[in-house]
Amino acid sequence: MEALRPRKDNEEVKMTGKTASLPPVPTASGQPLESRAPTPWELRQIEAAPKSKSRAAADRVICALPLFMAAIVLIQYKLTPNLADAATTNIYTGFILLMAFLVLVKFIRSIFSKKSFENLLEKAPLYTAGFLLSALYDYATLKTGILPLPYFPWPDRILNGIYEDRVLLLDCIKNSLILLFSGYFAGAATGLLTGLSAGLSRRVRYWILPMIQILGPIPSTTWLPIILIVAASLFGGSVFLIALGVWYPVTMTSMQGVLNIPKANFEAASILGASKLRLLFGVALPAAMPNIFQGLTQGMSVACTALMVAEMMGVESGLGWYINWQRGWAEFAKMYGAVIVICVTFSVVNFILNFIKRRVLRWQEGQWN
């Protein structure tokens, strides 16, 4: 603890005129770091004010809170009486147990590693709120019927809906992703091509800019009724629709990205003997990458919207079609289930996109620390 105090002792060292040898830097585990410089995380530990005993105990309780709440969810689900003639299964129990188990793994790791402890300490209130919400919802539907059927099915019913249709849902996910990425990549590739060339060449910009100004403000889904009639295949038409929605933001941002590149970068490259092709792919493209990724992220959200609309309006497969089809049967539990599946699918897609972005833009100053 001594070494964790802010170092006022440095002044003493100077006063007494001793040769300045700094005390060894302590790590979180108390071992000196020797000659190695501390990592950012270790540095935060060294510089942080020490915690009081009561504070440390309170932190442990906060970490355990999600587990308590999960227990309450299960007790509430199992022991309080259901509405009359409401059948329940153990799928909800299994789901809650699975979630509680994942938290438990984190909790056990937090006992041994200070890093995972801090991570859990930060996330624990959120997890607790998640369990609390599902308990409240279960209480309001299954136990009391404050939120009535058929509009508000209880969690167990929704999970059962997903479970029953799991094969069909997996197929829908597959079809949706194929459509999404076909359109997304087509749109992103054309967007990159037009955006980069418009940024580099005044003549291309002259023709592209008015196109962007006219087409840009039209939401791509506006074209759907026309495409449904004109397109030879619904799939092809939907790919075009999604691609159009992605094309616009990617073109805009990559053009802006190229226009923002300092002239010195191009000059330095051409002095080093870079060919036109290398100026495009070795300088313009990487230098514009931060902007391009803005467009790619924006484009992904546009693409997801266009996908849902296309599937609800015409395409006869995919998650959008599934949710609309279940509406026809008034299967509310399955509609809610589809919403959850859509949420998970798009979250995963965005997570992957973000991961790629972080890798590619590693070189950016202070962006990811």
Partner 1 sequence: MTTPAGHISIKNVTKIFARTDLNSTLVALEGVNMEVRPAEFISIVGTSGCGKSTLLRIIAGLETATFGQAYCDGEPISGTNPKRGLVFQEHSLFPWLSVRDNIAFGLRAAGSYKSGAKLVEGLISIVGLSEFADSYPHQLSGGMRQRVSLVRALVVRPDVLLLDEPLGALDSFTRMNIQDELLKLWNEHKNTMILITHDVDEAIYLSQRIYIMSPRPGRIAREIPLRMSYPRNRGSSEFVGVRNEILRRLDFAKEEQEEYNL
Nearer to partner 1, 34 or 365 (CB): 365
- The least CB distance from residue 276 to partner 1, in Å, is 11
Cβ at position 281, least distance to partner 1 in Å:
11
273 part of the interface to partner 1, by CB under 8 A: yes
CA angle 74, 80, 84 (to 5 degrees): 120
Nearer to partner 1, 11 or 365 (CB): 365
Q: Decide if residue 264 touches partner 1 (CB under 8 A).
A: yes
Q: Which of 265, 295, 259, 294 is nearest to 282 (CA)?
A: 265
Nearest to 86 by CA among 161, 159, 149, 163: 149
Of these, 182, 278, 324, 353, which contacts partner 1 (CB under 8 A)? Answer: 278
Please report whether residue 39 would count as binding partner 1 according to CB under 8 A.
no
Q: Considering the complex, what minimum distance in angstroms separates the CB of residue 209 from partner 1?
A: 21
Quick one: which H or E segment has residue 88?
none
For partner 1, which is the closer residue by CB, 93 or 265?
265
CB of 268 to partner 1, least distance (A): 5
Question: For residues 312, 318, 323 and 328, what is the CA-based torsion angle, rounded to 10 degrees?
Answer: 70
| Among positions 25, 91, 269, 353, the unique one binding partner 1 when judged by CB under 8 A | 269
The CB-of-274 to partner 1 minimum distance in angstroms stands at 5
Burial of 118 (0-12, 13-18, 19+ CB in 10 A): middle
Q: Does 364 bind partner 1 (CB under 8 A)?
A: yes
Residue list 303-362, contact with partner 1 (CB under 8 A): 362
Q: 3, 48, 268, 356: which one contacts partner 1 (CB under 8 A)?
A: 268
**In angstroms, rounded to a whole number, what is the distance separating the alpha carbons of residues 295 and 256?**
10
* Closest listed residue to residue 121, CA positions, set 61, 72, 70: 61
CA distances from 224 to 62, 94, 191, 278 (A): 51, 42, 20, 39
Residue 365: CB minimum distance to partner 1, A: 4
Q: Which lies closer to partner 1 via its Cβ, residue 23 or residue 282?
A: 282
The correct pick among 17, 40, 50, 262 for binding partner 1 (CB under 8 A) is 262
**Which lies closer to partner 1 via its Cβ, residue 86 or residue 269?**
269
How far separated are the first and last CA of the chain, in Å rounded?
28
Structure tokens at 165: 């249709």
Output the smallest distance, CB 272 to partner 1, in A: 4
Quick one: which of 76, 88, 93, 270 contacts partner 1 (CB under 8 A)?
270
Per-residue CA distances from 3 to 20, 34, 185, 274 (Å) = 16, 15, 55, 54
37 binds partner 1 (CB under 8 A): no
Give me 227's structure tokens.
Answer: 């495409």
Task: Report the amino acid identity of residue 294.
Answer: Q
Please report, as residue ranges, which positions from 197 to 256 form the binding site for partner 1 (by CB under 8 A).
none
Residues of this chain that bind partner 1 (CB under 8 A): 262, 264-265, 267-275, 278, 282-283, 286-287, 289, 362-366
